[in-house]
A and B are shown apart, each in its own frame.
Chain A
Amino acid sequence: MWAKLRRLLRRVSQLHAHLNNWSLSPDNLPSDLDSFRSKVPVTRPEALQTLALFDENPKNSQQIVKFTVQTEHSPPIYLGFTEREISIYAAELAKYWAAIGIKRGDRILLYDYGTSPLVYLASFAFTPHLNRGAAERLGAVAICNDGLPELVDRAIHVVRFVKPRFAFVREEVENPFLGRLASEGVLPDLEESFECVVVSADETIFLKNSNNLPAEFGKLQLTERRLLRIDVARFFALQCPLDSRSFHFSPDLHFVETVDPTTLKPLPSGEEGAIVVTPIFILAQPVLRYMSNLIGSIEWDCCRCGSKQPRLLF
């Protein structure tokens, strides 16, 4: 990880002069992970709102598509991508789709806005400059319903007629969607096809009601999973099928750590603190040590579900 991170820091310090504030000039880079963690301050959303940091800069003009973080920030946080970056991000999503069991020929309902990463990474049909979305990577077909709660009827309509095996829904519409699925009696016809509802929201895990499936589903083998997102850090983690408090993530493209939420001091692995993520594939608009509002710990031991991936434990 350190080799990748060092490469990122070198490129970033050349591209983005403002990082010199953190004495991140090309000839004065941290020498190892520990010095990276102590030397580079965590980034809070407020810092990303200052447009000077995120605005156009002649050197990052290769950003070709910009999305907005969904969370209400004023001013908002904009996320810029190069063609390469958005493609890598979509490949990340595809990994999680594959982990859920999505395969060639599957149809997937997306009950979310076109401007949510759940959708904009899903297909090249949806997003300019995205050459292969998660659906194309797996040979699946993604059908979007938009994210408005009042469009729940239309989502059910898609379930009824398109018969997707999977549905990805934004957290806000989870209850109306599941409730309507049960009450409409759509499910009996779908026993073969409809498998899993994946609920997702930015920087939210909502453990309290982690199993929202209404009792009326009866014998139907419908599962519900949660896909954790930290959109600013272009990060996903997928709820473990056996332990609802664990979220597995792929450690290849993100450096994930915890810090003390008050002192912001780096914590040793396994200790609970604020989850801090550095995406190492984002150069045009780098985010170093993004401190999310999630509190948890990182576990590297083998999970009882059999996955060898590390997990965030909440």
Chain B
Amino acid sequence: MWSQLKNRCVREAEWIDPIEVADPEYLLRLQWRRIKRVLHYAYDNLSFYRERFDSIGLHPADVKNLDDFSRIPLLSKLDLIAETKSRQSFSIGIEAFNKRPPFNVVMTSGTHGFHTFAAVGRAELTRGAMRAVLREFWMQKIRPGMSVMTLSPAWHFLSLLDSRALTAIGARCVSPFGTHTPRFAERFLDAVVNLRPEYVLTIPPVLYAMLSVCERRGIEPREAFASVRYVSAVGEAVTPRLRQKLRDQLGLDDFFERGGSSDGLWGGGECSRHNGHHVFADLFYVEIVDPVTNQRLGPGERGTIVVTNLVLGKSLYIRFNCEDLGSIATDVCECGRTHPRVEIFDRLDNQIQVNGREITVYDIRACLDEIDQLCGRSFFVVKQRNGGFRIDVYDPDDTLHNVSSEARAALLKRFGLDAEFRGIRSMPARWKGRLVDERQVAIGEGYPGE
């Protein structure tokens, strides 16, 4: 069974790194070997981990199997922030470089109001996690000589890997001026129309903004994107319904999603089966844990994503709590790849409690996307002073009222959430489907973004 799948995968993919279809048992053994190496390296060489492990009386030799490993306390973003502040330095003793200086320093996300830093060695960009992105790009149909539109905000870890992976594949790259905010959408659309890339790498809010530009200019998205066969979007989950809509609207062969986090320096992408992000097991070890008890959860259960880097030569994260909600699937994918697949739903703090049940903004998104007129429309979930919730929907042409009662009924039926809908004329610069506090909106802080 497994070898049949493997053969098909190799056939369909034209080329594949043999490890992508390795025996799952072999992968587990490989992961375990690397976990041990990483633990020993961290204890022997990295002051941060040495102190941390000593303080809980842990020695790497005590970790005899994956169950032992899963009892190591989670590393949180707050731990990294505290260490950065106390050392007053980007370098906090997690940089696994054998004491050499870093090759590059990137900023991680600004969650908890503070950007921590991650250091990256040259090997990470030429071998390390670059290989994950290389496999991912190939899986997502980037081919040598293909013209790929890329917008690399050079402060982000992923864009460093993207640059090197595109080089390794031999893709031709076009890069419009600007950065990943909707304010540059005009230029991005110009580049799509003028330079006719076959592939677009982007983030969903920028793609939506490009669609708004099409609308403003009165051109059919299909026409503007005539040259584009594939779009791959990173950073935000796209619901199946919206993916289909975007494929149709843009006339794409496929629409892919990528995901991961600069906190923890990990990532993965969907294959054309769209059933989760393949996270390459030789490079990352991903666990899903209960957000409250931190107990490891099984395949299919929704919980917090915890990641451990399995290669050195960069800032090393061991059992890092990414504060993202996800689930893991360990069965072999239909594409033949044997590595686990992680479905990433939303940020942990981007969920609300309704009748004792946790629902995420992504869940609301999925429900609203079922309504044609709302599919893909930007919105915010506003937490009101009275404890209730309101949905603020981007509504430039004042058409929301046609569907707001249908939408309200849908949320009530699906989640027992009774939320008022309000149309807003313009979206703040840092827009993203997010949960925000009404007080923040009211005092004009705008919406927290990024």
Residues on A close to B: CB < 8 A?
51, 63-70, 74-76, 78, 105, 107, 110, 113-116, 119-120, 122-129, 141-148, 150, 154, 157-158, 160-163, 189
Contacts and interface: CB of A to CB of B under 8 A. Distances in A.
A63 B90 contact: no
Given A65-B174, A128-B171, 18 more contacts: A66-B173, A68-B176, A75-B190, A76-B187, A76-B190, A114-B179, A115-B179, A120-B154, A125-B163, A129-B173, A141-B103, A143-B105, A144-B153, A145-B107, A145-B155, A154-B115, A157-B107, A162-B89
Nearest to B191: A68
Contacts of A74: 190
Given A113-B179, A125-B154, A157-B115, A141 B105 contact: yes
Contacts of A64: 172-173
A174 to B, nearest CB: 18
A150 B89 CA distance: 23
A66 B105 CA distance: 25
B388 interface: no
Given A76-B191, A105-B101, A125 B120 contact: yes
B343 to A, nearest CB: 29
Contact of B160 (A113, A126, A150, A161): A126
A69 B172 CA distance: 18
Interface in B62-101: 84, 88-90, 101
B111 interface: no
Contacts of B88: 160-161, 189
Interface of B: 84, 88-90, 101-107, 110, 115, 117, 120, 125, 150-155, 159-160, 162-164, 166-167, 171-179, 181, 187, 190-191, 194-195, 429
Contacts of A142: 104
B333 to A, nearest CB: 28
Contact of A66 (B153, B174, B181): B174
For B159, B163, B174, B187, the residue with the greatest tally of chain A CB atoms inside 10 Å of its CB is: B163
Nearest to A140: B101
B175 A115 contact: yes
29 contacts: A74-B190, A76-B177, A76-B187, A76-B194, A78-B194, A113-B153, A113-B177, A115-B179, A116-B177, A120-B154, A124-B163, A125-B103, A125-B104, A126-B154, A127-B163, A128-B162, A128-B163, A128-B164, A128-B173, A141-B102, A141-B104, A141-B105, A143-B105, A144-B155, A146-B154, A150-B429, A161-B88, A161-B89, A161-B117
A114 to B, nearest CB: 4
Contacts of A125: 103-104, 120, 125, 154, 160, 163-164
A143 B104 contact: yes
Nearest to A62: B172
Contacts of A113: 153, 177-179
B115 to A, nearest CB: 6
B104 A123 contact: yes
A105 B102 CA distance: 9
A184 to B, nearest CB: 14
Contacts of B429: 150
B49 to A, nearest CB: 20
Given A67-B177, A125-B160, A161-B90, A114 B103 contact: no
A128 B150 contact: yes
B337 to A, nearest CB: 25
